[in-house]
Amino acid sequence: MRETSWAVARPSLHPNPTPAIRSMRITRLETFVIGDGPQIDPDQGGVEPLACLRIHTDAGLAGLAEVFRVPPGVVQATVGGPLSHFGRLLLGEELTHPERLWQKLWDALIHTNRRGWQVIILGALDVALWDLYGQMLGQPVWQLLGGVQRGPFQSSAETSTTHVTPYCTLVSDQWGGEAMFTQQIMRAETLAGLGYRAFKIEPMMSTPADVVELARRFRRALGSRPTLMVDVGYLFHDVPTAERVVQQLAEFDVYFFETPFAVDSPVPWAQLAARSPIPLAMGEHGVTRWEFLDMLERGGVTVVQPYMTTCGGLTEAKRIVELARSRGAQVCPGNWSTQILGAASVHLAAYSPITPFIEFAPAEVFASPLRLELQQAGFPVRDGQIAIPTTPGIGYQLPPQIERDYAQG
């Protein structure tokens, strides 16, 4: 029978008075899979089969993380007992500091593959280790990363050290033309009515004219106040077309222009960055700090978007913040996944001095029962902002009934 008694406390405005634990050892690695099922399209907001993991300790505490976009079978095969790839490296280890264990796992990959699925799974384990480390010391993770370093330029002077601002990612059931315009604008209006302050429209698989038209209609419907981002999902193959689009988008006060090209080569990125009035953004599938560093230095990117697990964990995300800060760039963590992952993004944003926004896939406008329940179990969004958590660890509690009701084979 699956255990559930180790779940961490729900987010609270008051620190948990539980005393810190001196030390603990890793005793078990658990994996499980949840999802909406095949009837709900992941590209329309559904949660595809999503592997999650827990790290259990002899102190009775457990750390939680999700493993976005790694086939669940890969996670189950590599995270488990003492004969599994990660089990043999972690079981029995004392939790001294997450960075020590991150380095042990990283060094074990030197003769295999320091990219791809192995590093994404390492990243999820790292997030779970930070969750445990915070619980062990009785402190929220952002405090252990270095404490709030945010400046008033990031949101507003009165909330910069108390709240994080999410931007809502909007997708369509259809791409291009009136159906896309209508649905994305309606969703933006609904979310603005709920208090959300920032939005990313996604005119993917569309014509250049439709990209510009969707931004025009957004401003016409919602006005100049909300922050607007545009993501075209690797739409372009040539710099001149992309340049014409960004020049036209500039009049709509676009905060960043995401993924105009594939990230295989930084060359077109650098050429566009030199001509674009809008900052370029990338990073949703970036693995390790080195891929981000390459795009910062050779691609001219000034907004990077690491996923907290995909990039290699909070340990690696903190290093990405340091690299970006020294190069005058911003870090806006990506998350087209659930609020299990989103909770870790909040902690990085609370720490980072260059993170004005985090990505948020709002359950209110997508037909996903699981996405909604996971959001309701996470940090609440009030007046378009998320209060910086004060509970030890990451502070996300996965309700047992979600794990039971949405279990995937």
% pLDDT > 90, the chain: 87
3-state secondary structure of 385: strand
Residue range 355-380: average pLDDT?
A: 97
Of 129, 127, 86, the closest CA to residue 109 belongs to: 86
- In this model, does residue 271 exceed pLDDT 90? yes
Q: What is the pLDDT of residue 42?
A: 85
| Phi, psi (degrees; rounded to nearest 5) at 386 | -115, 125
Q: Are 35 and 338 in contact (CB under 8 A)?
A: no
Tracing tokens 């007046």 back to the chain, one arrives at: 383
Q: Is domain 26-139 classified as CATH 2.30.30.180?
A: no
Residue range 59-75: average pLDDT?
A: 97
State the average pLDDT for the chain: 92
Q: What is the pLDDT of residue 88?
A: 97
Residue range 276-295: average pLDDT?
A: 98
Residue 124 DSSP label:
H
- In this model, does residue 159 exceed pLDDT 80? no
Longest dimension (CA), the chain: 60
Contacts for 218-225: CB closer than 8 Å, 24+ residues apart: 218/184, 218/185, 218/188, 218/252, 219/252, 219/253, 221/185, 221/188, 221/189, 222/185, 222/188, 222/189, 222/192, 224/253
The rounded distance, in Å, linking the Cα atoms of 21 and 57 is: 12
| Phi, psi (degrees; rounded to nearest 5) at 304 | -110, 145
Each residue of 235-251: pLDDT tens digit?
A: 999 999 999 999 999 99
Tracing tokens 């689009």 back to the chain, one arrives at: 245
- In this model, does residue 343 exceed pLDDT 50? yes
The correct CATH number of 144-395 out of 3.90.1170.40, 3.20.20.120, 3.40.50.150, 3.90.950.10 is 3.20.20.120
Q: Are 340 and 370 in contact (CB under 8 A)?
A: no
Residue range 43-61: average pLDDT?
A: 95
| Phi, psi (degrees; rounded to nearest 5) at 305 | -130, 65
The rounded distance, in Å, linking the Cα atoms of 152 and 350 is: 13
The rounded distance, in Å, linking the Cα atoms of 362 and 192 is: 11
The rounded distance, in Å, linking the Cα atoms of 341 and 261 is: 26
pLDDT range class, residue 152, cuts 50, 70, 90: low
Residue range 134-155: average pLDDT?
A: 83
Tracing tokens 């709900």 back to the chain, one arrives at: 40
Residue range 358-377: average pLDDT?
A: 97
Q: What is the pLDDT of residue 150?
A: 66
pLDDT range class, residue 6, cuts 50, 70, 90: very low
- In this model, does residue 172 exceed pLDDT 60? yes
Q: What is the pLDDT of residue 13?
A: 36
> Where are the chain's structural domains?
26-139, 144-395
Q: What is the pLDDT of residue 160?
A: 64
- In this model, does residue 157 exceed pLDDT 70? no
Q: What is the pLDDT of residue 40?
A: 86
The answer for residues whose C-beta is within 8 angstroms of residue 70's C-beta and 6 or more apart is: 51, 117, 120, 121
Q: What is the pLDDT of residue 397?
A: 96
Q: What is the pLDDT of residue 136?
A: 97
Residue 145 DSSP label:
H
Each residue of 71-112: pLDDT tens digit?
A: 999 999 999 999 999 999 999 999 999 999 999 999 999 998
The pTM of the full predicted model, rounded to 2 decimals, is 0.93
3-state secondary structure of 365: helix
